[in-house]
Amino acid sequence: MIGNIIVGNLSVSAPVVLSIDYLVTAGGGGGGSGRAGGGGAGGLRCTVTATGGGGTLESAFLPTLSTNYTVTVGAGGAAGSGGGDGTAGSNSVFATITSTGGGRGAGDGGTSASSGGSGGGGNGNRDSGLGKSGTANQGFAGGNAVEASPNYGAGAGGGAGAVGANGTTTTGGNGGTGVSTSITGSSIAYAGGGGGGVYAGGTPGTGGSGGGGAGSLSGTATSGTTNLGGGGGGGGRPNPGSSQTGGAGGSGVVILRYLTASGTITIGAGLTGSTATDGLHKVTTITAGTGNVSWA
């Protein structure tokens, strides 16, 4: 792509390099059921402002014109029910960049939490109550549960910006915070972890900033926010015979930022997306599906 560059009073033609800044956030993990762990946030990789897991910023992607590049927006994981675990979120992809789905939260009749972009929170009745690890440069670990009366607090899901908090004897852990980035032109938080659930009389954990769902005592826990990659909250157990359903994980998102003068994007079949203008830049936000993008 050729653009004009002003040098003194002269306007000369020069190539404009096509360079893509990106945010790739995976789907969040679902929260477990029954004083259950919160789901971990989807992994987050970004070239603008901040990336996940406390890592250094990613490098911009340099595509070739008229070449197709795969994009996948990861779905959020399903919520656990009947005392079961949640399920992990799905990966999001842009070209060579993959962000890992968030780990599932453990239910008190399930197996365990799982690792992911950010790790799921533990339940004290399973796998020693341990939260699981996040992925380097994408997100943090989930919190641990406490298997102790009176309220058996479950661990929270990890977030892109911080670990999920451990449960206590009276409270579920608070979800790990997400990461705020200004890739769209405004600062928005993504990929917060889900809060932990509790047993009768306890206080459930809050969801992390960036779309994490709150845990519950009675009633269904809060789901992670769509297109923010937040983990679902862990379900509670208000009495011995009742395992409340967890919250589902929020879907991920792929956002691409590039100079208007450097190329025009085509969003292929199978993808849902739109393009806006921010000063000299175009910002393409893809919210669902799998398909190809290209520039000309």
247-276 pLDDT, tens digit per residue, is 999 999 999 999 999 899 999 999 999 999
- pTM for this predicted structure: 0.94
Examine residue 149 and state whether it is found in any structural domain, yes or no.
Answer: yes
Q: Is residue 262 part of a domain?
A: no
272 located within any domain: no
Q: How confident is the model at residue 15 (pLDDT cuts 50, 70, 90)?
A: low
Cα→Cα distances 127→93, 110, 122, 246, Å:
31, 10, 8, 19
For 154, the token pair is 């479950």
The domain tally of the chain equals 1
Q: What is the pLDDT of residues 178-224, one digit of tens each?
A: 999 999 999 999 999 999 999 999 999 999 999 999 999 999 999 99
Query: 50 in a domain, yes or no?
Result: yes
Q: Please report, for residues 89, 98, 117, 158, 260, the alpha-carbon distance to residue 40 in angstroms, rounded to integers and kept in the order given.
A: 8, 17, 7, 5, 36
On whether residue 283 sits in a domain, the answer given is no
CA distance 294 to 296: 7
Q: Which residue has the tokens 């409270």?
A: 171
The answer on pLDDT for 65 being more than 90 is yes
Q: What is the mean pLDDT of the chain?
A: 94
For residues 263 and 18, the answer to whether their CB atoms sit within 8 Å is yes
Q: Which range marks the domain in which residue 49 is found?
A: 27-60+68-252
Q: What is the pLDDT of residue 17?
A: 73
Strand, helix or coil for residue 291? strand
Categorize the per-residue pLDDT at 2 as very low, low, confident or very high, splitting at 50, 70 and 90.
very low
* Best CA proximity match to 34, nearest among 76, 73, 83: 83
Q: What percent of the chain is modeled with pLDDT above 90? A: 91
* pLDDT, greater one: 95 or 2: 95
pLDDT digits (tens, 9 = 90+) for 86-131: 999 999 999 999 999 999 999 999 999 999 999 999 998 888 899 9
Residue 195 lies inside a defined structural domain of this protein: yes
Q: How far is CA 141 from CA 42, 97, 175, 194, in A?
A: 12, 21, 10, 12
Domain for residue 12, yes or no? no
Yes or no: say if 286 and 276 are a contact pair by the CB < 8 Å rule: no
Residue 38 located in a structural domain: yes
For the record, the structure tokens of 159 come out as 């977030």
d(CA 174, CA 128): 19
Cis, peptide link before residue 150, omega less than 30° from 0: yes
